[in-house]
């Protein structure tokens, strides 16, 4: 299983890169960021699907905790680890997407998933964290794609903003803290616990920025309607 997972990560990085190159060719008139966000949407959809399929008992999605990872959980983590490595490198070539909090998020996630794969443990917690982290990603990227497609400052873009903020809040600020507490309360490796805390800190910072963004957008939209 170990060699298989390592190969899956290596091939995954290659395949995510090839997917970006293909999309870049397909949408040659669009920006670098536009094409990378399409890859990100594909990954988020795949990650949430694989994470959902790896759940052993939906009455307790994070059970069994601090236990040996199942083959399906290992595969889910490997696919996302490969994507995160690709995306971290890819973002370095795009000046518009290089920011400290995004880089920290990538590094924390890479270390956490890498540790989970190396230990072959804590699969339930890590897959649940992946689900929580990626469930809002498609909406995050769609709202940016809409801007480049000419829908900036439209009602459609505002709806995308609000939906993204709502899903992010429920996932990262309600489910996220519960998952973090659960991860810290059992006998997980230190790196897994550190990842849980790190991701929650980043999520809280992003929540603050998103709340300000939604307030600004709603104020701007309301002001425009009253003119």
Collect all residues with Cβ–Cβ distance below 8 Å to 65 and sequence separation of at least 6. Answer: 122, 124, 125, 182, 183, 186, 188
Domain count of the fold of the chain: 1
Q: Whose CA is closest to 189, among 123, 103, 105?
A: 123
Collect all residues with Cβ–Cβ distance below 8 Å to 8 and sequence separation of at least 6. Answer: 75, 78, 79, 82
CA R_g for the chain: 18
Q: What pLDDT is stored for residue 104 in this prediction?
A: 86
Interatomic CA distance for residues 222 and 211, integer angstroms: 16
Regions of the chain short of the pLDDT cut 70: 1, 95-98, 225-227
Q: What pLDDT is stored for residue 98 in this prediction?
A: 61
DSSP-assigned letters across all residues of 152-197: TTSHHHHHHHHHHHHHHHHIIIIIHHHHHHHHHHS---HHHHHHHH
**Placement of tokens 């964290």 in the chain:** 129
The DSSP letter of residue 221 is H
Interatomic CA distance for residues 197 and 200, integer angstroms: 5
Name the phi and psi angles at 62, rounded to 5.
Answer: -100, 15
Per-residue pLDDT tens over the stretch 13-26 = 999 999 999 999 99
Q: What pLDDT is stored for residue 10 in this prediction?
A: 96
The SS3 call for residue 130 is helix
Tokens for 216, please give them. 């600004």
User: Could you give the percent of the chain with pLDDT greater than 70?
Assistant: 96
Question: Which range marks the domain in which residue 16 is found?
Answer: 2-226
Q: What pLDDT is stored for residue 222 in this prediction?
A: 81
Interatomic CA distance for residues 73 and 55, integer angstroms: 8
Q: What pLDDT is stored for residue 1 in this prediction?
A: 56
Q: What pLDDT is stored for residue 58 in this prediction?
A: 87
What count of other Cβ atoms lies within 10 Å of the Cβ of residue 38?
19
Collect all residues with Cβ–Cβ distance below 8 Å to 2 and sequence separation of at least 6. Answer: 120
Q: What pLDDT is stored for residue 57 in this prediction?
A: 85
**Placement of tokens 């994470």 in the chain:** 51
């Amino acid at each position: 299983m170990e060699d298989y997972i390592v190969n899956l990560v290596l091939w995954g990085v290659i395949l995510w890169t090839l997917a970006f190159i293909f999309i870049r060719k397909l949408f040659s008139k669009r920006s670098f960021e536009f094409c990378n966000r399409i890859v990100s949407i594909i990954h988020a959809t795949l990650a949430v699907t694989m994470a959902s399929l790896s759940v052993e008992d939906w009455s307790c999605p994070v059970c069994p905790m601090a236990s040996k990872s199942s083959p399906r959980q290992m595969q889910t983590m490997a696919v996302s680890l490969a994507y995160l490595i690709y995306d971290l490198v890819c973002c370095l070539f795009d000046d518009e997407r290089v920011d400290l909090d995004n880089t920290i998020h990538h590094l924390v996630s890479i270390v956490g998933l890498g540790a989970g794969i190396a230990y072959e443990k804590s699969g339930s917690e890590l897959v649940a964290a992946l689900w929580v982290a990626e469930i809002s990603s498609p909406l995050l990227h769609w709202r940016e794609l809409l801007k480049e497609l000419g829908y900036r400052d439209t009602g459609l873009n505002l709806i995308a903003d609000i939906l993204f903020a709502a899903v992010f809040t429920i996932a990262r600020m309600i489910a996220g803290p519960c998952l973090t507490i659960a991860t810290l309360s059992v006998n997980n490796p230190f790196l897994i616990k550190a990842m849980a805390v790190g991701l929650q800190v980043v999520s809280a910072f992003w929540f603050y920025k998103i709340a300000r963004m939604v307030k600004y957008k709603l104020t701007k939209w309301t002001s425009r309607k009253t003119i």
